[in-house]
Amino acid sequence: MSTSASSNKYVWKIENFSSLSSKTHYSEVFSASCGVDWQLSIDPKGRDGTYKTLKGAVARWNGTRFVIGLAPWGTGSWYVEFSLSIINQKDRKKTRKYVAECEMRAKSSILGETMRLTELLHPKKGFIIDDVCYIKVEIICVMEIVKSLQVPIKEEKTTDSREKKEIPPGGYYYAKSP
């Protein structure tokens, strides 16, 4: 498997796709312009079992869909907006793009069920040519989630007569990543 990266986009070139086993496969760890390291994962033969959707519902995989994962490396929690694309090598207009936003914790993947395996593997569809598949990720927005201190902030008047609000103890706020 070979890779290439630039700014907030990363393309994972997966070679010898048909010979991949049913276990999960991982890209190299890559950096995006936001200063966070990331890693993609795929389940080339689909995945069985239950999982929790981004909306909190419990759903079941039945091994019929291609699964892509994205995980931040390091420590902390992040609010992330990103897109994952399965590149159509015959016709770029038919590339499958999935956009999501969610909270992620370090080394904890967000898994996305994408297209049916039968469509991905179909030789005339153009997603796998010469046994090569390309997965592209674009990190659109990343903000580190910082837990507030247990010390309340005093309310103060500002020059424009608005009051500063207290962050509740144990509450969260979003701070843009470095």
Span 49-63, mean pLDDT? Answer: 59
Say which DSSP state 129 is in.
B
pLDDT greater than 70 at residue 138: yes
Residue-averaged pLDDT of the chain: 75
Select the more confidently predicted residue: 99 or 156. 99
Question: In which element (H, E) is residue 140 found?
Answer: strand 132-147
Q: What is the mean pLDDT of residues 75-80?
A: 83
Mean pLDDT of 26-45: 85
In the predicted structure, residue 26 carries a pLDDT above the cut 80: yes
User: What is the rounded distance in angstroms from the CA atom of residue 98 to the CA atom of residue 127?
Assistant: 15
Q: How confident is the model at residue 166 (pLDDT cuts 50, 70, 90)?
A: very low
Question: What pLDDT shows up at residue 68?
Answer: 84
pTM of the model: 0.72
| Two tokens, residue 117 | 């395996």
Sign of CA dihedral 81, 75, 112, 34: positive
Report the CATH architecture of 2-146: Sandwich (2.60)
How many angstroms separate the CA atoms of 36 and 104, rounded? 12
Share of the chain above pLDDT 70, in %: 66
What is the reported pLDDT for 143? 83
Pairing of strands 110-116, 2-6: unpaired
| Per-residue model confidence (pLDDT) at position 137 | 92
pLDDT at 50: 60
